[in-house]
Amino acid sequence: MSGVGSARTRTESLALAPVNMKVGLLHNLDVQLVVETFVRDRERILTGNTAAASSRLGEITGRAKLNLWGNDGGKTAFGLMPFVSFVPGALGGRYANAGLIVPLAVDLGGGFGLGTMAEFDFEKNEASGNYHTVFVNSITVGRDLAENLGAYLEFFSAASTESGSGWVRTLNAGMTRGIGANVQLDLGANIGLSRVADDFNPFLGLSFRF
């Protein structure tokens, strides 16, 4: 929920069928294409009980993931994931963003795993043609509950250097269910811990490997 002047507004977003396609090039390198196929935004002014809605194709992101170690086993795994993203139709990609993701995974034993991520995004300012940096961090603890069944709890943070931006913080939780060797279901929710974060964001996902 946000407010401008005396008007209080609530924004609701629905994303359907976002797709992440991966292709392995080497034993420790793959490339990925992430497409937000359908996004619908609805903004409602609470004080006036009026609403406006729009539908669009969301961001398209290309990225590569390089495992520096741990790809073939071990207690830790570390990698680098550079990416670039843009919104189609935005002045020929003028509003393209780029960044670098640095993930680390640690096997804690007893079915527990720890994941941390540092991310550096370079995004275009909304009010000018300059770019700013967004520092993204997360820490995740997961555990195997049974064969092909797991759960996780995550703290997420995103801090922007753009003037007037707030600090986004969320608490995320979910479960994963493997179906055979090549299919996995994901179910969970992200809960906002700060004013500028989404209040509640449930999700349901399906991933499969050819």
Q: What is the mean pLDDT of residues 17-44?
A: 89
Out of 49-53, 55-59, 153-157, 203-207, the most confident range is 153-157
Average pLDDT score over the chain: 87
Is the per-residue pLDDT at 55 higher than 80? no
Neighbouring C-beta atoms of residue 135, cutoff 10 Å: 14
The first and second tokens of residue 84, run together, are 């670039």
Per-residue pLDDT, averaged over 82-103, amounts to 78
The model's pTM is: 0.83
Average pLDDT over residues 154-174: 94
Annotated domain spans of the chain: 110-210
Judge whether 87 and 78 are in contact, CB under 8 Å: no
The predicted pLDDT at position 140 comes to 98
The answer on pLDDT for 187 being more than 60 is yes
Count other C-beta atoms under 10 Å from residue 121's C-beta.
Answer: 19
Q: Report the sign of the C-alpha dihedral through residues 171, 54, 123, 35, in that order.
A: positive
- Taking the C-alpha atoms of residue 202 and residue 74, their distance in angstroms, rounded to an integer, is 33
- SS3 state of residue 111: coil
Where does the pLDDT of residue 5 fall: very low under 50, low under 70, confident under 90, or very high at 90 and above? Answer: very low
Question: In the predicted model, what is the mean pLDDT of residues 172-182?
Answer: 94
Instruction: Provide the pLDDT for residue 3.
Output: 38
Comparing 47 with 151, the larger pLDDT belongs to 151
Residues 107-163 pLDDT 10s: 999 999 999 999 999 988 866 678 899 999 999 999 999 999 999 999 999 999 988
Q: Which of 14-18, 62-66, 159-163 has the lowest mean pLDDT?
A: 14-18
Kindly list the strands in the beta sheet with 183-192, ordered across the sheet, starting from the edge strand earlier in the chain: 19-26, 29-35, 60-69, 76-86, 97-109, 112-124, 131-146, 149-160, 167-179, 183-192, 200-208
Mean pLDDT in residue range 171-188: 95
